[in-house]
Amino acid sequence: MAQRFHKMHGLGNDFVIIDARHGGAPMEAARARAIADRRTGIGCDQLIVLEPSDVADVRMRIWNADGTEVESCGNATRCVVLLEGRGLTIETLGGVLTGRLDGDGASIDMGHPRFGWEDIPLAYAMDTAAMPVGWEDLQAPFAVNVGNPHVVFFVEDADAVDLARLGPQIETDPLFPERVNVNVASREGGALRLRVWERGAGLTQACGTGACATAVAAIRKGLVQSPVEVRLPGGALTIDWAPDRPIHMSGPAVHVFSGELVE
């Protein structure tokens, strides 16, 4: 049976979006991996499936390219808002998000960050604002959950870090029982330069939740002021946050093409 899909991206972080609100083949890890494969499938960083929701306008389920289902994806959320062409609420495993159209993209209320060690989660208790751990030159990260788990390292030059090598080591460290997204950031005036190793997807052109996590960490540490521009390899996002307020993320989203998936 053919199933319609949309190929979209947010700053180069690309998605295959399937609308299953009116039926369709069930998604599983092996099928998600096959669709995400860039040589033998459609190809994407994450596969998105839209389903009916009892608590929001739509339910968004997210599979990484390795077939793992994850809680949240900021760039995909903007794409869904653009695809629907209206403001809406979106149920995710990480909570209910609210989005609205904003220029050539969308603005998303990403909810409140969580800082407790058990919220990340970590394997044991420690200070999440300056974790007493490190991997080679990457030391004392800041940990935060923004719908999914992140660690943020502030360095002199984010582009100089061998993230392709260190990222998977940190992602799969036993300290992180649910694995973790790895961010390396450096200041550029009042902005942030960011590269992200995404859990289950590897190096990507952009990561919306990574931008949120890094901005929150930098604001809490007094490195930048809100709102802050976060510059990723694929482009820039604007993150606005203050304590006791939800995170607001704004940035572009692009519809690339539509097609039919025949299996």
Sequence-ordered list of residues with C-beta below 8 angstroms from that of 234, at least 6 positions apart, any chain: 9, 10, 11, 12, 13, 204, 205, 206
Distance (Å, rounded) from C-alpha 121 to C-alpha 253?
30
Is 207 an annotated catalytic residue? Answer: yes
Sequence-ordered list of residues with C-beta below 8 angstroms from that of 258, at least 6 positions apart, any chain: 4, 5, 6, 7
Catalytic one among 44, 79, 207, 212?
207
Q: Tokens 């289902």, residue? A: 69
Catalytic one among 44, 73, 79, 212?
73
Q: Is 239 helix (H, G, I), strand (E, B) or coil?
A: strand
Q: Are 58 and 90 in contact (CB under 8 A)?
A: yes
- Strands 58-64, 88-92: pairing kind: parallel
Is 44 an annotated catalytic residue? Answer: no
Q: Is 171 helix (H, G, I), strand (E, B) or coil?
A: helix
* Catalytic positions, written as ranges: 73, 207
